[in-house]
């Protein structure tokens, strides 16, 4: 029968009463004249150019532009056979299935309209940015789709995709995730990586991401590093590290980051490995937290512990500090009163004991209480007054005993305008401190001890500031005297005559041109000591000069020099940056310090992104130049660090290769594959901005692992 036909096919409760076969129907009789099955509770809407119904087999044959509409499925084909009793539909030609979440095209297929199950041969499908081709597909309960012999990719370049993945088994739940087992990653036609498990979310908010890095290191052997990133909520996400080293064993670790505005932020990082080669447990734990409990109470903490000073150089090589000679820990509760701030804190510093394998306690305050008022005015006096109080229970390794101290102080200051651009700021203060035990040098070879004593201090200071169009001059003088323990008289018999500060400082900050900033500072010391003599050259404070030159938005040059008349040039530092650290750039730095007189350190770093390549190249060189004095007496040159990396983004993948050489046995070759998704790069930059507060090395670049 020809002609366009539209009917309601209701086949849950079929009935054959009064059915007439097509052979018995008069020629040209309309399809609606056939006695079709009675309507069930649900229905399928169909249309076709031709409809035939075989009563004996309960099969309806639809031909020509067939369209089936069901509650959740829409199916298009050139030809369909539908069994009214089993509610199964079959097509031996091309068929198009749309389940509301995605579209699938196959060469043939069969569907169960009651259970919403079925299969397609040679399916082609699209899910978000992913396109899938396979040999066979089965639709299961819960809209779960199983593909066999699947080739899938996020690259839509035709005719040849830049990359694709192949998996014998691919599971897809539309709008949720894509999961593949035993997957091979291809760049062009070349297989480059095997992935036992591959996962990609199909949601706008990606709840799970994976990264993989493989390589070889001379110390740790061949390695595979895996990172799993999980988003637990809008404000909370974590990283899980599972690494395997052929020479050292398995290392595990993780991070947890939380940021809900500026008043609720923090990070936790930890890593542990039991080394097979040494038998040592190597580990690190770091946490930084800030939490505003109420509008007036906040809690903050910085905790850092690790097994040894060289942990970063062996397992966390993206850190700015290769060796960690000191561990600094602190925690505090801050309470803001209407006119004051109270802070209850703990702080501790541990230093390496010289073996690079163990830390010892160097100093600690547990606990310490500080209370400071806001600037107050007494009566109608023009001075601003600040009151302070502290109580401390402290330990110093150099002191060797626990010291308890309680103190209170007063400070007053005001600013007096003398003329246009000229001001004078005087400041006076007085304090008293109680010590349960106090030790002082009475002469260069002996000390004196006091028990339960008070020590007072008074100070006078003045600062004259002269501000001009090109800069500002600051001339300051400070004089501070210490009382004799347990008395109100000056400690004149001490080695410093009780004078703790007596000197002037001069600082100038000016811009000779819009693109140039200059800072200079020096001073003069007036104190007199019993145990040594200071000449004029010793009394002149180091002349510290800084010059910052920014001729263009993409070029920054800076020089810092520290010169003292008696000691000479104590340090010199030069840095230069051309470009943008997030894009193409080159930077260089040269540093010399008198503490290592024969060494000058030279650092270079670059990033290059040729527009025609699509690759990003990067690297750095850190070297040491040895000289007996001046350029004419150079005698050695050493490359301390060498690193070269390349990066490539292929739609959903971020590829990175790296070669790194460092002292103490570090020779590393690594290749990383990172899965990305739409919007991931922007989200990654936001994460780096968050994490840079706790991990500064992440500010301008993606760190490797961890």
Q: What does the DSSP assignment read for 17-55?
A: TT---TTTSPTT--GGGS-PPPP-SS-EEEEESEEEEET
pLDDT at residue 136 greater than cutoff 50? yes
pLDDT at residue 35 greater than cutoff 70? no
From residue 300, give the alpha-carbon distance in Å to each of 21, 288, 289, 317: 84, 8, 5, 27
Q: Is residue 682 part of a domain?
A: no
Tens-digit pLDDT profile for residues 243-280: 999 999 999 999 998 888 888 889 999 999 999 999 99
Mean pLDDT is lowest, of 334-348, 466-480, 682-696, for 682-696
More confident: 207 or 367: 367
Band of pLDDT at residue 30, cut at 50, 70 and 90? very low
Q: Is residue 599 part of a domain?
A: no
d(CA 570, CA 568): 6
Q: Is residue 266 part of a domain?
A: no
Q: Which of 201, 234, 265 is the last residue of a domain?
A: 201
Q: Do 248 and 268 meet the contact criterion of CB atoms below 8 Å apart?
A: no
pLDDT at residue 65 greater than cutoff 80? yes
Q: Is residue 272 part of a domain?
A: no
Q: Which of 201, 220, 251 is the last residue of a domain?
A: 201
Tens-digit pLDDT profile for residues 583-616: 789 999 999 998 888 889 999 999 888 776 668 8
Q: Is residue 335 part of a domain?
A: no
Neighbours of 486 (CB within 10 A): 13
- Residue 157 domain boundaries: 5-201
Q: How many domains would you assign to the chain?
A: 2
Mean pLDDT is lowest, of 424-438, 440-454, 623-637, 666-680, for 666-680
Q: What is the pLDDT of residue 91?
A: 87
Neighbours of 259 (CB within 10 A): 20
Q: What is the pLDDT of residue 76?
A: 85
Q: Which of 487, 513, 541 is the last residue of a domain?
A: 541
pTM of the predicted protein model: 0.70
Tens-digit pLDDT profile for residues 308-345: 999 988 888 677 677 889 999 999 999 999 999 999 99
Band of pLDDT at residue 34, cut at 50, 70 and 90? low
CATH number at residue 143: 2.60.450.10
Q: Where are the alpha helices (DSSP H) in 515-589?
A: 536-539
Q: What is the pLDDT of residue 29?
A: 45
Q: Name the token pair of 372.
A: 């400071």
Band of pLDDT at residue 22, cut at 50, 70 and 90? very low
Band of pLDDT at residue 663, cut at 50, 70 and 90? confident
Q: Is residue 701 part of a domain?
A: no
Q: Is residue 65 part of a domain?
A: yes
Which percentage of the chain shows pLDDT scores above 90? 45
SS3 256: strand
pLDDT at residue 425 greater than cutoff 70? yes
Per-residue exposure over 368-381, b if at least 16 CB sit within 10 Å of its own CB, e if not: bebbebeeeeeeee
pLDDT at residue 26 greater than cutoff 90? no
For range 335-362, the mean pLDDT: 94
Which residues have C-beta within 8 Å of that of residue 432, sequence separation ≥ 6? 407, 408, 409, 454, 455, 456
Q: Is residue 144 part of a domain?
A: yes
From residue 252, give the alpha-carbon distance in Å to each of 92, 426, 584, 702, 705: 53, 58, 35, 20, 12
Band of pLDDT at residue 10, cut at 50, 70 and 90? very low
């Amino acid at each position: 029968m020809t002609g366009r036909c539209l009917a309601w096919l209701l086949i849950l409760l079929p009935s054959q009463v009064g059915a007439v076969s097509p052979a018995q129907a008069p020629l040209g009789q309309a399809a609606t004249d056939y006695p079709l099955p009675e309507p069930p509770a649900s229905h399928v809407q169909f249309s076709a150019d031709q409809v035939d119904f075989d009563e004996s087999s309960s099969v309806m044959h639809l031909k020509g532009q067939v369209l089936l509409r069901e509650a959740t499925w829409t199916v298009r084909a050139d030809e369909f056979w539908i069994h009214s009793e089993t509610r199964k539909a079959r097509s031996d030609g091309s068929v198009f299935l749309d389940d509301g979440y995605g579209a699938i095209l196959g060469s043939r297929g069969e569907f169960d309209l009651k259970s919403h199950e079925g299969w397609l041969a040679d399916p082609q499908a699209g899910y978000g940015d992913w396109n899938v081709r396979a040999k066979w597909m089965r639709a299961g309960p819960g809209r779960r789709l199983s593909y066999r012999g699947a080739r899938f990719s996020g690259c839509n370049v035709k005719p040849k995709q830049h990359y694709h993945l192949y998996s014998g088994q691919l599971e897809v739940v539309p709008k949720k995730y894509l999961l593949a087992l035993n997957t091979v990653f291809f760049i062009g036609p070349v297989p480059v990586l095997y992935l036992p498990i591959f996962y990609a979310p199909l949601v706008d908010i990606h709840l799970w991401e994976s990264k993989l890095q493989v390589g070889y290191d001379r110390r740790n052997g061949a390695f595979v590093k895996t990172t799993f990133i999980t988003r637990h909520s809008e404000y909370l996400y974590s990283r899980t590290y599972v690494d395997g080293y052929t020479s050292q064993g398995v290392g595990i670790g993780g991070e947890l980051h939380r940021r809900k505005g500026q008043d609720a932020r923090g990070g936790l990082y930890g890593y542990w490995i039991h080394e097979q080669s040494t038998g040592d447990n190597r580990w690190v734990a770091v946490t930084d937290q800030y939490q505003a409990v109420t509008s007036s109470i906040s809690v903050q903490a910085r905790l850092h512990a690790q097994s040894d000073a060289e942990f970063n150089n062996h397992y966390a090589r993206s850190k700015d500090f290769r060796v960690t000679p000191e561990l600094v820990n602190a925690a505090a509760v801050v309470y803001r009163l209407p006119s004051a701030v109270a802070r209850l804190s703990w702080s501790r510093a541990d230093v390496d004991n010289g073996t690079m394998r163990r830390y010892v306690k160097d100093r600690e305050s547990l606990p310490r209480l500080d209370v400071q008022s806001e600037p107050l005015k007494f009566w109608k006096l023009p001075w601003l007054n600040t009151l302070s109080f502290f109580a401390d229970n402290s330990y110093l390794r150099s002191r060797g005993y626990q010291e308890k101290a309680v103190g209170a102080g007063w400070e007053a200051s005001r600013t007096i305008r003398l003329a246009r651009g000229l001001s004078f700021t005087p400041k006076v203060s007085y304090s008293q401190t109680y010590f349960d035990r106090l030790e002082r040098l009475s002469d260069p070879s002996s000390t004196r001890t006091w028990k339960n004593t008070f020590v007072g201090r008074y100070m006078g200071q003045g600062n004259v500031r002269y501000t001009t169009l090109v800069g500002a001059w600051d001339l300051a003088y400070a004089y501070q005297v210490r009382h004799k323990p347990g008395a109100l008289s000056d400690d004149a018999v001490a080695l410093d005559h009780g004078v703790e500060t007596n000197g002037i400082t001069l600082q100038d900050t000016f811009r000779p041109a819009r693109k140039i900033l200059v800072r200079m500072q020096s001073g003069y010391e007036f104190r007199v000591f019993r145990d040594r003599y200071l000449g004029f050259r010793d009394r002149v404070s180091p002349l510290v000069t800084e010059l910052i030159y920014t001729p263009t938005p993409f070029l920054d040059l800076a020089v810092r020099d520290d010169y003292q008349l008696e000691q000479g040039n104590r340090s010199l530092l030069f840095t230069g940056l051309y470009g943008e650290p997030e894009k193409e750039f080159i930077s260089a730095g040269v540093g010399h310090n008198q503490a290592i007189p024969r060494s000058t350190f030279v650092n270079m770093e670059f990033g290059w992104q040729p527009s025609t390549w699509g690759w990003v190249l990067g690297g750095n060189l850190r070297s040491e130049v040895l000289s007996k004095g001046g350029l004419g007496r150079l005698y050695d040159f050493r490359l301390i660090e060498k690193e070269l990396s390349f990066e490539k983004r292929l739609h959903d993948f971020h590829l990175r290769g790296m070669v790194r050489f460092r002292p103490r046995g570090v020779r590393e070759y690594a290749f990383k594959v990172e899965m990305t998704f739409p919007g991931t790069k922007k989200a990654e930059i936001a994460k780096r901005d968050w994490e840079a507060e706790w991990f500064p090395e992440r500010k301008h670049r993606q760190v490797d692992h961890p």
